[in-house]
Amino acid sequence: MLDLQRATSPPLVAPPQPEVARDKLIVALDFPSGREALAFVDRLDGACRWFKVGLELFLAAGGSIVQTLRARGHSVFLDLKFHDIPNTIAGAVRSVGPLGAELLTVHASGGPAMLEAAAEAAASFADPPRLLAVTVLTSMDQSQLAAIGNLRTPAEEVLLLARMAFANGIAGFVCGPEEASALRSALHGAVLVTPGIRPDGAEIGDQKRIATPAAALAAGANYLVVGRPITQAPDPAKAARAVLAEMKLAQRKNTATVV
Ligand code: C5P
């Protein structure tokens, strides 16, 4: 059986981690069509480099939306949250690999065999997508976990899943901002991606485990995923620039604290 206390070294070289605010902000393109998503990207006026394509957009627009964003010079996080038997997941990773997304999600709760199959399939590409294991969705709190029979706290469950995924070749994680610092100390070199980002005063919506951009960076997140606070803003470019400004300020403060 897997010893979760000792499972702390993935069979991977630690991946590079971004430094510049613009390289750390990923805008979630949760739109019902490729046309609307691309029109929104145009409204951002070059403010953002990274975009996340999730289930809604991928199912509506297909793989070509990833290729179009890549052709326009953007980096793509393909957030399809794969969860199935190992053979099916290996095939799914091989199917989307050629699209050129740089980040791709699988659910950690799919277990060691599924994660290993995903990692092996990704490694078959010359320029593989980096796999991220989704730990506990940021829309889930303790009562939602309890409802599916899991009596651990979200923090305990995130750590357990991340250690298990790390031991099975996955060095990147999607977690809530409040779990980032525990993962940062437990898993050396891990890449941490945090949704649930809400600038002060933004609507929370269905998210439960949230933090401001500055707090998520201070906790050790490498990439912040921001959807509605930017996509639903009256002036999305202005909202994106405000998030980037908060991130830059936080990075300066964090560096000052470390030095
Ligand atoms: O609009 P909002 O900022 O809440 O968008 C967050 C994005 O991050 C959504 O696209 C959602 O699917 C995604 N996500 C999440 N929680 C996770 C993994 C991904 O909210 N654990």
Q: What angle do CA 178, 236, 205 make, to 5 degrees?
A: 45
126 C-alpha to ligand 1 centroid (Å): 29
Question: Is the model's pLDDT at 242 over the cut of 50?
Answer: yes
Question: Is the model's pLDDT at 90 over the cut of 90?
Answer: yes
Residue 227 beta carbon below 6 angstroms from any ligand 1 atom: yes
Residue 162 beta carbon below 6 angstroms from any ligand 1 atom: no
Residue 194 beta carbon below 6 angstroms from any ligand 1 atom: no
Instruction: Provide the pLDDT for residue 254.
Output: 79
Question: Is the model's pLDDT at 17 over the cut of 80?
Answer: no
- Give the separation between CA 167 and CA 3, rounded to whole angstroms: 9
pLDDT digits (tens, 9 = 90+) for 159-168: 999 999 999 9
Atom of ligand 1 at shortest range from CA of 134: 21
Instruction: Provide the pLDDT for residue 14.
Output: 57
Nearest in space to 37 (alpha carbons), one of 24, 26, 27: 27
82 C-alpha to ligand 1 centroid (Å): 15
1 C-alpha to ligand 1 centroid (Å): 32
Give one word for 67, left, alpha or beta, with left for phi > 0 and alpha for psi -120 to 50. alpha
Question: Is the model's pLDDT at 35 over the cut of 50?
Answer: yes
Pocket probe for ligand 1: among 40, 59, 132, 138, the residue whose CB has the most ligand atoms within 8 Å is 138
Residue 78 beta carbon below 6 angstroms from any ligand 1 atom: no
Pocket probe for ligand 1: among 79, 158, 209, the residue whose CB has the most ligand atoms within 8 Å is 79
Q: Which residues pair with 107 in a beta bridge?
A: 134
Catalytically active residues, by annotation: 81
Q: Please, which pLDDT band fits residue 257 given cuts at 50, 70 and 90?
A: low
Structure tokens at 72: 């326009």
Give the single-character DSSP code of 189: T
Cα–Cα separations (whole angstroms), residue 244 to 199, 240, 248: 11, 6, 6
Query: Residue 105: helix, strand or coil by DSSP?
Result: strand
Atom of ligand 1 at shortest range from CA of 231: 1
pLDDT digits (tens, 9 = 90+) for 191-232: 999 999 999 989 999 989 899 999 999 999 999 999 999 999
Instruction: Provide the pLDDT for residue 96.
Output: 98
225 C-alpha to ligand 1 centroid (Å): 7
Residue 54 beta carbon below 6 angstroms from any ligand 1 atom: yes
Fold category of 21-258 in CATH? TIM Barrel (3.20.20)
What's the pTM value of the predicted model, to 2 decimals? 0.91
Across 11-85, the runs of DSSP E, i.e. the strands, are: 25-28, 50-54, 75-82
Average pLDDT, the chain: 92
Structural domain boundaries in the chain: 21-258
Beta strand 25-28 pairing with 191-194: unpaired
